[in-house]
Amino acid sequence: MSSLQPGNTSSEVEVTNISKNGIWVLVLDEEIFLSKDDFPWFNQAKVAEILEVELVSPRHLYWPKLDIDLGLDTIKEPQRFPVKARIET
């Protein structure tokens, strides 16, 4: 009797670290950083809300519990996309 080879267990997108400075996300084979200053929407979010992220296309992430969607270009070069949502306090 032979056993099957284990399947690929790696995710296409995964939050790898959350710190006071921001969030690191592994997208396919690339790790990207979302700073708390450039992406303030995550500052008051719960860890479970941040961890639930989807790769909706090869260049687009979505956090359904937070209703946040970001293109990878926006994450990698936030200075090119200076418009930010207002955070209500």
Three-class secondary structure of residue 76 per DSSP: helix
Q: Which two tokens stand for residue 36?
A: 């708390």
Q: Which letter does DSSP use for residue 12 in this model?
A: S
Structural domain includes residue 28: yes
Q: Strands 13-19, 60-63: parallel, antiparallel or unpaired by DSSP?
A: unpaired
Structural domain includes residue 6: no
Total number of domains constituting the chain: 1
Structural domain includes residue 27: yes
Three-class secondary structure of residue 69 per DSSP: strand
Stated pTM of the model:
0.76
CATH number at 65 reads 3.30.2020
Structural domain includes residue 2: no
Three-class secondary structure of residue 60 per DSSP: strand
Residue numbers of the domain that contains 21: 13-80
User: What are the mean pLDDT values of the chain's consecutive 10-residue runs (89 residues total)?
Assistant: 47 93 95 94 96 94 96 87 60
